[in-house]
A and B are shown apart, each in its own frame.
Chain A
Amino acid sequence: MNIDYSQFLNMIPEVTLTALLVIVFIADFCTARKPGDEPRKWFNPLVCILMTAHLLFNMSTTETATAFSGMYYTNATVGVIKTILAFGTLIVLIQSREWMNRLDTTFKEGEFYMLVVSTLLGMNMMVSANHFLLFFLGLEMASVPMACLVGLDKYRHQSAEAAAKFILTATFSSGVMLFGISFIYGATGTLYFDDIVSKISATPMIIMGMVFFFSGLGFKISLVPFHFWTADTYQGAPTTVTGYLSVVSKGAAAFALAAILMKVFAPVVMYWQNLLFIVVVLSITVANLFAIRQSDLKRFMAFSSISQAGYIVLSIVGNNSMSVTALSFYVLIYVVANMAVFTVISSIEEHNNGVVDMESYNGLYTTNPKLAFLMTLALFSLGGIPPFAGMFSKFFVFMAAVKGMSVDTQIGAMAYGVVFIALINTVISLYYYLLIVKAMYIKHNDKPLPTFTSAVSTKLALAICTLGVVAFGLCSFVYGWINAAAA
């Protein structure tokens, strides 16, 4: 059998990522370190530069293309989401330098980069899949290396526990999802998205398959009835990996969910809209209530990210032209805001013997005012205070959810109701984000964390994130860029 290799030219982002993976592998292979050796100063900059090159090289590819008889599909919207994912990964890679250059972690530096890049490759496959098999392969390629990342700190008990919980739930959820896909296959006889949509109708078998499929993806995005693993995994995983897991992995899965629901399950839209209403309300409300009572900052951010996932999915319920734009924009803003918070957390963790209690943030302002200020900006953005970007992204999500809906119809009334509940929850979330701000600025502490200077890479990551938090909302060309791609 002959394969037309020129098809690979249609999937340039994947090809450059694979090249990146091979380069990192060879570089790590040739200069391997044993535990306790001196860190390789050039390694992180090399990977970051390659990732930047990948990002810039693929930023402008906007044409629609297919490969492998339509299994792979890309267009401008998919290109934008791939750029956002690569951008998030770049920030993760930059801020991982401080963690990866410690004497006890430097020998796994190469593994870390390879696992991160291969998960990104899987996510790229997942978002540009046009066939359930490729989608499934991409999803697995994104979640199996992710389990290794979660367990990277293998001598720390919590990391091992988190990895076990992650891999078991990930496998279980893909099993549930596969079961759903099998019913869709049984009802339609094809796995191509384009063919399924013309053969689908609201039969019980399709609805059942759709619900199973949705629950499987719900595990990956950690929406509320499927969120049990999130808090434990986020708390136990190394902080950098938690950041990666909470933004990039979640964003990719949410985009894939949006694409499949809106493209493949378009004929049964009223069923999944009702499903989404319930799941969104539960995610936002339950996660907010749990977040209030957390004392460990990473666990707190886990519940915060569940509630943010609710907002991300809220943009899909409108099922209109604005949904994907609002989702991509929300994910982009969420990437910068959440990565800023996680960069601060991991920077403080490095100088606080690995403790991430909320108590160690008491009085942070007196000793590390700049860090406290940047953390405040990021938290304001997550909470949605204007003029930071988070406010704009929430606004667009709410707008997308009710666009074209009339309050008179049942579905429209429900959409408005869900948006109202989400608005109330924004206030609740503001309360718990401000708890951290209060701890940093107001709470008195006899022995606050001593003043420290972060590494240059950490400062760079924080600068990029803060720039995004401040500017992405106010500079309308960012939204314009995403909107133009979706149009």
Chain B
Amino acid sequence: MIPVSAFLVLSTLLFFLGVFGFVTRRNLVAMLISVELVLNAADMNFAVFNRILFPGQMEGMFFTLFSIGISAAETAVALAIIINVYRNYHSDQVNSIENMKF
């Protein structure tokens, strides 16, 4: 059986890939995809912990299901907002929507 630590390495990698992408990508849709990676890392953690450490219950699985549903809702709103940004600025690059500065 695959040990828990292997899954944790994978989910942590996924998490930090998402964080890295969120910080470095300059395209709104790419940033959204990176955020999804972060959420998926958390979902995977829940599923793995539930399956391997606490096989007698379903709490982690339910959390994963709810979390997937919520991230879908968030993505829908985020995409609508990004489309609105595109209509206003004719671009989805972060550099071109920096109207407000310190």
Contacts and interface: CB of A to CB of B under 8 A. Distances in A.
A48 B50 CA distance: 46
A155 B77 CA distance: 17
Interface in B53-102: 53-54, 57, 59-60, 62-63, 66-67, 70-71, 73-75, 77-78, 81-82, 84-85, 87-89, 97, 99-100, 102
A296 to B, nearest CB: 8
Interface string A166-187: 0110111011101101110110
A190 B15 contact: no
Nearest to B42: A178
A171 B34 CA distance: 10
B60 A185 contact: yes
B42 A179 contact: yes
A157 B39 contact: no
Interface residues of B, number: 43
A290 interface: yes
B100 A137 contact: no
Given A144-B74, A171-B74, A186-B53, A178 B39 contact: yes
Given A160-B81, A171-B35, A189-B54, A178 B59 contact: no
A148 interface: yes
B48 to A, nearest CB: 8
Contacts of A190: 59
Nearest to A296: B100
A160 B97 CA distance: 9
Interface string A188-231: 01110000000000000000000000000000000000000001
A232 B77 contact: no
Contacts of B54: 189
A147 B63 CA distance: 23
Contact of B100 (A151, A176, A235): A235
A185 B59 contact: yes
A161 B38 contact: no
A111 to B, nearest CB: 13
Interface of A: 132-133, 136-137, 140, 144, 147-148, 151, 154-155, 157-158, 160-164, 167-168, 170-172, 174-176, 178-179, 181-183, 185-186, 189-191, 231-232, 235-236, 290, 299
30 contacts: A132-B63, A133-B66, A136-B63, A147-B77, A157-B88, A158-B100, A160-B84, A160-B87, A160-B89, A161-B100, A164-B28, A164-B97, A167-B77, A168-B32, A168-B35, A171-B39, A171-B74, A171-B78, A174-B39, A174-B70, A175-B35, A175-B38, A182-B42, A182-B46, A185-B46, A186-B49, A190-B59, A191-B63, A231-B100, A232-B100
Interface of B: 15, 18, 22, 28, 31-32, 35, 38-39, 41-43, 45-46, 49-50, 53-54, 57, 59-60, 62-63, 66-67, 70-71, 73-75, 77-78, 81-82, 84-85, 87-89, 97, 99-100, 102
* CB-based closest 8 A-B pairs: A175-B38, A182-B45, A178-B42, A186-B49, A179-B42, A167-B78, A175-B39, A160-B88
